């Protein structure tokens, strides 16, 4: 499902326009992104948690040449699904 398909589904369920649904989705994206930039986690009950984590510097390998190279440390984002989401996906 892409963003437009999601917006159409949200619009249909909420009886709003697709444009309004896109605005809601974009606003949620902005709010979550801003929290990640402040290194805060975002918990959506029964759905999951978005959290920031720092990847350590490590040695990687070019798969074509097998030459090793240093991959610098960086900040990344993880998503951990909540129990409610896992239960629904598993039909419980």
Q: How far apart are CA 65 and CA 48, in angstroms?
A: 39
Q: Are residues 71 and 58 in the same domain?
A: yes
Those residues whose C-beta lies under 8 Å from the C-beta of residue 89, and which sit 6 or more positions away, are 81
Output the furthest CA–CA distance in the chain (Å, rounded).
56
The pLDDT tens digits for 15-71 are 999 999 999 999 999 999 999 999 999 999 999 999 999 999 999 999 999 999 999
Q: Strand, helix or coil at 81?
A: strand
Cβ–Cβ < 8 Å for 49, 43: yes
Q: Are residues 51 and 77 in the same domain?
A: yes
CATH number at residue 75: 4.10.520.10
The residue segments making up the domain with residue 54 are: 39-92
- Percentages (nearest 5) of helix, strand, coil residues in the chain: 40, 30, 30
What is the domain count for the chain?
A: 2
DSSP state of 53: E
Q: Are residues 33 and 46 in the same domain?
A: no
pLDDT reported for residue 21: 97
Q: Are residues 46 and 90 in the same domain?
A: yes
pLDDT reported for residue 92: 81
């Amino acid at each position: 499902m892409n963003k437009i398909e999601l917006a159409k589904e949200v619009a249909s369920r909420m009886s709003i326009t697709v444009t309004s649904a896109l605005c809601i989705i974009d606003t949620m994206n902005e709010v979550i992104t801003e929290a990640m930039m402040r290194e805060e986690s975002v918990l959506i009950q029964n759905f999951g948690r978005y959290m920031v984590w720092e990847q350590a510097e490590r040695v990687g390998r070019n798969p074509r040449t097998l030459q090793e190279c240093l991959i610098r440390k960086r900040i990344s984002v993880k998503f951990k699904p909540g129990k409610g989401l896992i239960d629904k996906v598993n039909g419980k």
